[in-house]
Amino acid sequence: NAVGEDGISSVYIDAYDYVDSCPGWCGAFQRAFFELRFYLAEVMDDIFYCKDRTRLDKFLLACELPFTIARKLTVSIPSEGYYCRPVVALSLAISPIWIAFYLSSQMGVAVNAHFHYLYISCAVSLFTGAMIIRYGGAESLSLWALVPVALYGFVVAATWIDYIGAHLVRLLAFFGAVFKIPNPVMGLTVLAWGNSMGDLSTNVTMARKGLGNMGATACFAGPCFTLLCGLGSGFAALLASDPNLTTIKVTIPPSVKIGFASIIFNCLLLISAGLIVFRRGGKIGPSHAYLMLTIYVSYLATCIA
């Protein structure tokens, strides 16, 4: 085993020290092989042998494992805490195949008619991945390589989000048709909760680790980014698609109007609570949390009714 109870086994350390002394391309690929084995052992250990995970968590992570592997092998993540040299190199090498599949399935691009672009992109990505293995650092990439790799990984991650989001919408439409649930209700409940669960888990985790201000800020920064950048980029793309289009007629459904009113009311309550807290020494009671939950339940009840 690459990982033991006390960390990296002595056999792994001895073998890696021997390989680390090998020069040239052969030694670089051997080091990448050992690093990949150790990384996979860490992933398996985190899923199946972590004492902090319940049996349900382990089962769900095991079901998600094939998709996790596919995502890791296409999205390059060179940031600290997630960096693994061979994984970054593999993601760079394999990502053009995923992008070709995404363009074919989501955008309707005829990949068969543009195979030469795929060949060129695969050749460039394979060369880049080989350079990462040969000259990339074991702990991190240098800044000149980290920035473009991270930006490229962000673009590929966006394609994953779009692909999964499209299938999620179809799945919600299917369940809505089967159980005869109106689409607006599905959007207000299942889709909204599903989109927010990742942010909720992350923000609560940061707050539990003592980063309460960061978690609270993220609660507002995420929706602001979605509303401003999402709507802004969507309108910009629509205007750019038709040069003759100068104005866009927009209709706001009642659910959005009620949502805006609830957000404004909640913000006014937060400002009032902030002024009161400042006078009371910086402590917020649980009553304000109950009030915010009441506002949300009222919002749902009003929209569904």
What would the two tokens of residue 85 be?
């040299």
Please name the helix (run of DSSP H) or strand (run of DSSP E) that holds residue 3, with its range, or none: strand 3-4
pLDDT for position 6: 44
Report residue 8's pLDDT band, with 50, 70 and 90 as the boundaries: very low
Over 80: is that where the pLDDT of 228 sits?
A: yes
pLDDT for position 277: 67
pLDDT for position 114: 80
pLDDT for position 92: 93
Single-letter residue type at 279: R
pTM for the model stands at 0.67
Report residue 281's pLDDT band, with 50, 70 and 90 as the boundaries: low
What's the rounded mean pLDDT across residues 275-286? 67
Beta bridge partners of 247: none
Beta bridge partners of 8: 3
**Tokens 């040239």 belong to residue:** 24
What is the rounded distance in angstroms from the CA atom of residue 194 to the CA atom of residue 210? Answer: 26
pLDDT tens track for 98-150: 999 998 888 888 888 888 888 899 999 999 999 998 888 878 888 888 889 99
Please name the helix (run of DSSP H) or strand (run of DSSP E) that holds residue 8, with its range, or none: strand 7-8
Report residue 11's pLDDT band, with 50, 70 and 90 as the boundaries: very low
Residue 164 C-beta-side C-alpha neighbours within 13 Å: 13
φ, ψ at 50 (rounded to 5°): -75, 125
What's the rounded mean pLDDT across residues 34-57? 85
Torsion on CA atoms 10, 13, 16, 17, rounded to nearest 10: -110
Name which residue leads in pLDDT, 72 or 220.
Answer: 72
pLDDT tens track for 289-304: 888 888 888 888 888 7
What is the rounded distance in angstroms from the CA atom of residue 33 to the CA atom of residue 14? Answer: 15
CA 66 to chain centre: 16
Percent pLDDT > 70 in the chain is: 90
81 Rama sector, left if φ>0, alpha if ψ -120 to 50, beta otherwise: left
Over 90: is that where the pLDDT of 240 sits?
A: no
pLDDT tens track for 249-280: 878 888 888 888 888 888 888 778 777 766 66
Lowest mean pLDDT among 79-88, 125-134, 190-199, 224-233: 190-199
Single-letter residue type at 230: G
What is the rounded distance in angstroms from the CA atom of residue 234 to the CA atom of residue 143? Answer: 32
What is the rounded distance in angstroms from the CA atom of residue 243 to the CA atom of residue 246? Answer: 8
What's the rounded mean pLDDT across residues 75-104? 90
Beta carbons within 10 angstroms of residue 158's beta carbon: 12
Alpha-carbon radius of gyration of the chain: 24
